[in-house]
Amino acid sequence: MTQTKIQLEENEIPKQWYNVVADMPNPPTPPLGPDGNPIGPEALAPLFPMALIEQEVSGERWIDIPEKVREMYAIWRPTPMFRAHRLEQALGTPAKIYYKYEGVSPAGSHKPNTALPQAYYNAEAGIKRLSSETGAGQWGSALSLVGKWFGLDVVIYMVKVSYDQKPFRRSMMHTWGAEVFSSPTDQTEAGRTILEKDPESLGSLGIAISEAVEVAAANKDTNYSLGSVLNHVLLHQTIIGLEAKKQFEKVGDYPDMIFAPCGGGSNFAGVAFPFFADKAAGKKIQLVAVEPTSCPTLTKGTYAYDFGDAIGLTPLMKMYTLGHDFMPPGIHAGGLRYHGDSALVSQLYHEGLIEAIAVPQIATFEAGVQFAQTEGIIPAPEANHAIRACIDEALRCKESGEPKTLFFNLSGHGHFDMAAYDSFFSGELEDFEYPEEDIQASLRNLPRVG
Amino acid sequence: MTQTKIQLEENEIPKQWYNVVADMPNPPTPPLGPDGNPIGPEALAPLFPMALIEQEVSGERWIDIPEKVREMYAIWRPTPMFRAHRLEQALGTPAKIYYKYEGVSPAGSHKPNTALPQAYYNAEAGIKRLSSETGAGQWGSALSLVGKWFGLDVVIYMVKVSYDQKPFRRSMMHTWGAEVFSSPTDQTEAGRTILEKDPESLGSLGIAISEAVEVAAANKDTNYSLGSVLNHVLLHQTIIGLEAKKQFEKVGDYPDMIFAPCGGGSNFAGVAFPFFADKAAGKKIQLVAVEPTSCPTLTKGTYAYDFGDAIGLTPLMKMYTLGHDFMPPGIHAGGLRYHGDSALVSQLYHEGLIEAIAVPQIATFEAGVQFAQTEGIIPAPEANHAIRACIDEALRCKESGEPKTLFFNLSGHGHFDMAAYDSFFSGELEDFEYPEEDIQASLRNLPRVG
């Protein structure tokens, strides 16, 4: 019988996360405060527990996963890796295609990989409540899922337009016991300020972040939790790539190229960083971040210090950015609509150690449908970006005759994104031109540093 | 580390299905034709390929699973079995609770376990197209998923009210390449007859069946495919229980009681029949079918010959029935709204070899939410019935101090049923009184046989 699924046993769940900082040729750039000077760990203390702050600044290569976290990872981990036999056949490619499927988590994406340890460390620190924001709802779902397991209340500020248009992600969060508010609310200074100016405001991720941070800063028993971008979030996600390496070992194979969607960077880092360790040790492997042409942070942005949020409340991080007030078009891959990128991913890209490409929306859905019809799983729109890039490479292999081993992260299922597939089938989906002028305008507003 | 997930390797996927007929104390009752005489296999030939008809009437205990089917089962099988540690703890029960999770299939339920072999045997027989009906959409999704893998076109007649109200199950079917029609259509005699009488007809499962059967009967290259009730469907689903037995062996445990939702019977049979083999050999085990109080087929119906469909087109089957024109209230567990039950399940129940209980709707959602908050997965409304029954037993164990081993089939996830959870949270969900009068009225219309 041809092997389709490469599984690991529960006791093969990695015991440590991998910290890419240890293998980077240069130390990571520091975040800067409003005064332009590097901020210390203490600046983060009102929002995060010390254990996470230590991870955020750690240079250690390996960081132990607490036994309790490993035990609870087992609810959905190890996740399966698949050989895409039927997709390969449909493409007629000599390439071998593998994918790791993170949609088996109860929340349906890779996001719980970091929500779980974040909840654990906060509960250990005596915190009673976590606040966060969510746009399309994947991160909010992940945090809501894990809260109850550690006796934590979870409060989610969901961007109003999504709250109204994506009721089922909201229902999921309710089912797991979270409080979900349509942001802007009148509970916070930030929300009230916005509502005063525009009572009909549809909200934005920037506003929702402000509300969640304000609530965490103002309440001693409440901390804030972030779903991407930060070093500790990327660290937790490396469990994906660490498992994948064991799975490749099991079948005696190794990828030539890895593809992952890239928004804030934790999806890409999660699968690619553990392989970067091999690359740093001299192994030949290409690590490719895939982003939408409508929000081409790495491929068209500038490497500069910028704010992480739209309003300018966060510390400044050195990253590829389209400018913090760049507003990407309303594509369906909500998780990839971010003006910036993780500092670690940005630095590795700047140093030429990883690659990036941008793909247009309609082509990503074409790839997603081809994948669904051959492999079965209906992918999330974010994951369709990696699939598109991987299929394109497999087709190049068909031309050249190269039997490359390709690997991508199928970071989530599309069960809550079927309206996007409907738009695709009805021909309503649009490709957005690279909005050069908008980006240039937005880049003119970059903060001046040093 | 406490073990949470009990997995099998791909090569442990069973090589044979289990046929309960071999272990039944009495031969199965035959289906009858319109003349009241038993029908032979040839009566089924216009709709089904010979391989499936042979399985339908087989008395062999073990039936080989074709190698190709095993290979493709591996896309989602073996499915994981879980020990529900956190649910046990929340209940404070000495009982051990295990569940098998069938929601990992790309269609999100156990239905592809039979859709896959049905597509395989039809393709082998040279069939080019499969037609079927779907209500809420789970069966239609399953058949749509597998069609393309065997080069088969799939046409689904979806009950109009569901077609309009559950657009995302329809989108799933489209994504997998199926044609989905809102039934009644003007393509069939059956549909046109209905539309002539009522152009605004919302459709029904009975009408959709008539359309799908008519299309299959009228086209040589088209066969019909059914998602439950029939013997061969139950046979294919036994892969669930066969895997579960191996998984219990791995942890050195064995269930005292098994719970599964019961609509047409394939969900229950799939998990319970392989354990019935042990019961027939003298082992003590309770097999409990769980149905809604609003459609209490086994617990309040009559054991009699009746039609399988609402209109009276199918052969007569001896089964527990509420009367073929009984219209159950519109509960959210659409898969359990069936007036009858599989002939095999009915016979075993009639002979006192299996048990049945009925549970009210609101209590099933309370159980589902408690499950989601402890175990993570949000269950389908059908699965909530098994969870309710299992939790009730676990609470009895708490009273009595008995450390029973309980096992239920988590037959699917609820990602496409979040509106039902919303109704629950908003207090709009209703419990339906056992509609004694309706059932009595409907039972007066049972066909007279013999």
Q: What is the pLDDT of residues B366-404, one digit of tens each?
A: 999 999 999 999 999 999 999 999 999 999 999 999 999
pLDDT category of residue B436 using cuts at 50, 70 and 90? confident
Return d(Cα B117, Cα B235) in angstroms, integer: 11
Closest chain A CA to residue B366 = A175
Whether residue A369 lies within 8 A of chain B, CB to CB, comes out as: yes
CB contact under 8 Å between A104 and B108, yes or no, is no
Q: Is the pLDDT of residue A450 over 60?
A: no
DSSP H stretches of helix in A166-291: 167-175, 189-197, 205-218, 231-250, 266-280
CB contact (8 A) between residue B75 and residue A104: no
Query: At residue A310, does pLDDT exceed 80?
Result: no
| Chain A residue with Cα closest to B1 | A71
Q: Is the pLDDT of residue A2 over 80?
A: no
pLDDT per residue as tens digits for the range B263-294: 999 999 999 999 999 999 999 999 999 999 99
pLDDT at A1: 65
| pLDDT at residue A212, as a whole number | 95
Chain centre distance of CA A89:
30
- Assess whether pLDDT exceeds 90 at residue B90: yes
Distance (Å, whole) CA A259 – CA A268: 8
User: Can you say whether residue A54 is alpha, beta or left, with left for phi > 0 and alpha for psi between -120 and 50 degrees?
Assistant: alpha
The strand order across the sheet containing A355-359 reads A5-6, A81-83, A96-101, A405-410, A257-261, A286-292, A355-359
Residue B15 pLDDT > 60:
yes
What residues does A399 pair with on adjacent strands? Answer: none
pLDDT tops 80 at residue A434:
no
pTM: 0.96
CB of A39 within 8 Å of any CB in chain B? no
pLDDT above 80 for B311? no
Residue pLDDT, tens place only, A42-74: 889 999 999 999 999 999 999 999 999 999 999
Mean pLDDT estimate for chain A: 94
CA B213 vs. chain centroid, Å, equals 19
Cβ-contact B30, B274 below 8 angstroms: no
Inter-residue contact A211 to A188 (CB < 8 Å): yes
Ordered by where they begin, the domains of chain B are 4-9+67-108+232-443 (3.40.50.1100)
For A:169-228, CB contacts with B below 8 A are: 171-172, 174-177
Q: Percentage of chain A with pLDDT > 70?
A: 99
Nearest to A368 by CA among A413, A405, A416: A413
* A435: pLDDT strictly greater than 80: no
What is the count of residue pairs from A and B with beta carbons less than 8 Å apart? 125
Model pLDDT, residue B135: 85
The confidence score (pLDDT) of residue A19 equals 98
Whether the predicted pLDDT of A116 surpasses 70: yes
pLDDT score for A443 = 87
Separation CA B177–CA B173 (nearest Å) = 6
What confidence score (pLDDT) does residue B189 get?
94
What per-residue confidence (pLDDT) applies to B372?
98
Range 400-419 of A in CB contact (< 8 A) with B: 415-416, 418-419
Predicted confidence (pLDDT) at residue A312 exceeds the cutoff of 90: no
Indicate if the pLDDT at residue B324 is higher than 90. no
Q: Which of A1, A5, A373 sits opposite B70 (nearest CB)?
A: A1
CA dihedral of residues A412, A390, B73, B374 (deg, nearest 10): -10
**Whole-complex ipTM:** 0.96
Pairwise pLDDT comparison (B36 vs B84), residue with the higher score = B84
| Closest CA in chain A for residue B69 | A1
**Confidence category of residue B312, pLDDT binned at 50, 70, 90:** confident
* Collapsed DSSP state (helix, strand, coil) of residue A21: helix
pLDDT surpasses 90 at B161: no
Instruction: Look at residue B450 in the predicted model and tell me its pLDDT.
Output: 54
Using a CB-CB cut-off of 8 Å, the residues of chain B touching A103 are none
* Per-residue tokens: A54: 């230590």
- Per-residue pLDDT tens digits for A313-340: 789 999 999 998 887 878 888 888 888 9
How much is the pLDDT for B338? 86
- The whole-angstrom separation of Cα A133 and Cα A139 is 8
